[in-house]
Amino acid sequence: MDMEVRDFGSPYLKQLWEASTGAMVVCDAGRQILQINPGFTGLFQIPAAECEGRDLDELITPAPFLPESECVFDTAVTGTPISLATVKMKKSGELTRVFQVAVQVIADSGDKLVCFIFKQTPENSRQRATDKCGDSEILNSAFENSFEPSLYSDAAGNAVRANTAFHSGFGWTPEDISGQSISGMLIPSAIRPEAEYINAMQKAGRILRLRTTRKTKNDSTLQVSLICAPVNSQTGTGYRIYRTSSSRAQTTADVIARNDFRECPYPGLHTGMFFHARTDKNRTMEFIAPGSASYAGYSETELLSEARPYAAIILDEDRNMVLKAIEDSLENRKDYSITYRIKNSFGDTLWVMEHGRTYLMNRDKPNFCVGCVIDISETKTDRENSSLARDRIGKLHSVAAELQQCRSAGEIYRICIEAGQSILNGACTSVFIQDGHKIKQVASSGREFYDCDRECSPGMVELTLSTVSPCYFSSRDLEENFCPAGSSGACFRLNDKAVLQIISRSSRVFGNIDTRITELLLGYTQQALKRITLQHQLISQALHDPLTGIYNRNYFNRIIELEELRARRLGSCIGFIMVDVDKFKMVNDKYGHQTGDDVLREVAKILKKALRKTDTVLRYGGDEFLIILTRMTVDHCHRVETRINNAIEKSPGLHMSDGEKITASMGHAFWTPDANESIDEVLGLADTIMYENKRKKLGSTSQSNTRK
């Protein structure tokens, strides 16, 4: 195929072709390839000479993914851009995960063409769970989970295997179809010659699409759309898909949902600019949906050229913020949503909102992002009351100072909802968290003024947790009874498990200055929550032994005074058991320090399992452990020591490869509120008893040797 650029009369296609670093292909309305770029050959390893006039699906689409590919094509050819992550196939048969964009192109002749861009998804980008599977697992999953009745056939046209949808739709059981002729089972006698045509196309390596009739097990007939595809041209095996009237509706959302695909933000864009760009400082555009940049007054060709990179029309004050948001998205592998200003072709300032997803590529390929830019200038009016805005921002700064003083997440939630109600004029403000599979309301403000005995709009909370962007809704959008406090609302993610919901009396939620103040409030709240989380992590690290995961001596120093006060108040005693691993120095010297670490972890696990929830075990130092028993009887220590000795004796992890068994020595002592000894003295007594028991067990070796 000639690699010279053919623009087909589209004013921006030539520029797009030269700028794009992805694999590009242009097809006619019959899916026949008209033009490919070198990137297509590089990605799919198919020479240009083998592409011209071929059906695109025949070259790169695995058979179980044909319904999805057909849906993408049918959507794009109507003029609606579409993008999704999917699986395609190289010439060698190897599967590759790609990000795909498809859009309609109108040629000079008026013909509708479809332009595709494919970019290989690298291993370090965010992927679906199925992307971690092997090739055979991906194809098998797509086959088994498809809503389309599908089956494999051998070279003789006999059924080999069918999926659940086929058995359900046609009534045949797996035993019924095993080794049976597909034409004999499914094709009515009046159109039996059709089977020969299908087999011929299959052996020729061609995909066949046609409308026809098929029989069910009870001899009734179904009108179907049939897709036949070769699986292995050498053996003649094939794959057939019957799209019946009872099959699920073939919409973009259905295809993505049933195949567990992640869809790019706003795949069907009707307003704003749908784009595919590099993440460099110029934000070099590689693709812009036809006609979508008109809101800014520029043509696609202008924005695709290096003479006017997209970053150049972003206001200087906002440009670094935009680039930083995209850089953070690349680093965190999360979608981004930003609001900023641009200059249109007439010199006017427009407010725009950009939603997108970034993809981190390999070193030899530029990183890129896909998303859309929407003009929100109408919601940014110049009639804002500037004095009111300054007053609200001043209050928000006070809120930020309070949030920095908070010591718990609950306190942060309380301050956040109170600010949402007072500063943002919310009628009712709440914080919800996800606890397992349930959504719980953990804080609210304003509900006491309304006849409200339920958690408002939990469905919108769940939706917000599963997406990145805020969710705006109104009473007319929801089938459930709406909150009596207002007529509309919005949900914002605070973190992976928490959502801030604000119910408003206004039918238009968060226009004008409200958007910026909300962003600031969310930022302050999220920063405070991260601080609390970090503090808890640091405290946990300071009080836990990193090797065994149990408490350390710092924790003992922190709680022993509290335990003493509790024992005095209740008149109960505290038991202390010192545990020391026998011949631990020999274990390290003979078997290595890794084995020594494994022994300590196993002993810690046994000790923790042998205790009640009210008791505590901690690593006291080296190979020595301390058990604290509270509210106990005198003979309880003996029972605990017996339980521990039995567990150590039976533990496979403490039996060395040469038959050596690891044991432990123990000693215990008690402290009571009326005792003359201090707790430190009681601990010393337990330690002395433990080493005396160790000496008796191990013989007459010196105390210094028995200690390690």
Confidence of residue 261 (pLDDT cuts 50, 70, 90): very low
Q: Give the residue, 172 or 446, on which the prediction is more confident.
A: 172
Task: Break the chain down into helix, strand, coil percent, rounded to 5.
Answer: 40, 25, 35
The confidence score (pLDDT) of residue 88 equals 93
The confidence score (pLDDT) of residue 7 equals 67
**Does pLDDT of 260 surpass 50?**
no
Alpha-carbon distance values, 172 to 165, 184, 192, 216, 221 (Å):
11, 13, 19, 7, 14
The confidence score (pLDDT) of residue 269 equals 37
Alpha-carbon distance values, 465 to 129, 424, 658 (Å):
18, 22, 54
DSSP notation for 231-299: EETTTTEEEEEEEETTSPP--HHHHHHHTTPPBPSSSS-SSSEEEEEE-STT--EEEE-TTTTGGGT--
Torsion angle in degrees (nearest 10) through CA of 376, 379, 381, 387: -120
Confidence of residue 267 (pLDDT cuts 50, 70, 90): very low
The confidence score (pLDDT) of residue 624 equals 92
CATH 3.40.30.10 fits 148-247, yes or no: no
Start-to-end C-alpha separation, the chain: 78
* Superfamily covering domain 273-379: PAS domain (3.30.450.20)
Classify domain 386-540 by CATH number: 3.30.450.40
The confidence score (pLDDT) of residue 391 equals 73
The confidence score (pLDDT) of residue 485 equals 61
Q: Mean pLDDT for the chain?
A: 81
Q: Of 8, 36, 7, which is closest to residue 23 (Cα–Cα)?
A: 36
Long-range CB contacts for residues 157-165, cutoff 8 Å, separation at least 24: 157/181, 157/182, 157/183, 157/195, 157/198, 157/199, 158/182, 159/185, 160/237, 165/247
Percentage, residues of the chain above pLDDT 90: 18
pLDDT digits (tens, 9 = 90+) for 472-512: 776 545 444 556 666 677 888 888 888 888 887 665 556 55
CATH 3.30.450.20 domain span(s) along the chain = 13-121, 148-247, 273-379
Compute CA 529 distance to the chain's CA centroid, rounded to the nearest angstrom.
Answer: 21
The confidence score (pLDDT) of residue 540 equals 79
The confidence score (pLDDT) of residue 17 equals 79
The confidence score (pLDDT) of residue 389 equals 67
CATH 3.30.70.270 fits 553-707, yes or no: yes
Paired with 438 in beta bridges are 435
Pairing of strands 574-581, 498-504: unpaired
Q: Of 552, 518, 83, which is closest to residue 286 (Cα–Cα)?
A: 83
CATH 3.30.450.20 fits 13-121, yes or no: yes
Confidence of residue 74 (pLDDT cuts 50, 70, 90): confident
**Does pLDDT of 548 surpass 70?**
yes
pLDDT digits (tens, 9 = 90+) for 198-236: 888 888 888 888 889 999 999 898 888 899 988 875 566
CATH 3.30.70.270 domain span(s) along the chain = 553-707
Torsion angle in degrees (nearest 10) through CA of 180, 183, 187, 189: -110
* 8-state DSSP, 218: T
The confidence score (pLDDT) of residue 3 equals 57
pTM of the model: 0.50
Pairing of strands 237-244, 221-232: antiparallel
Q: Give the residue, 37 or 10, on which the prediction is more confident.
A: 37
Q: Of 427, 416, 428, which is closest to residue 493 (Cα–Cα)?
A: 416
Q: Of 274, 195, 200, which is closest to residue 236 (Cα–Cα)?
A: 200
Confidence of residue 312 (pLDDT cuts 50, 70, 90): very high
Asked if 99 contacts 119 with a C-beta cutoff of 8 angstroms, the reply is yes
CATH 3.30.450.40 domain span(s) along the chain = 386-540
pLDDT digits (tens, 9 = 90+) for 431-453: 888 888 788 888 887 766 665 65
| 385 vs 161: CA distance, rounded Å | 69
pLDDT digits (tens, 9 = 90+) for 570-622: 888 899 999 999 989 888 888 899 999 999 999 999 999 988 888 899 999 88
Three-state DSSP class for 92?
A: coil
**Does pLDDT of 370 surpass 90?**
no
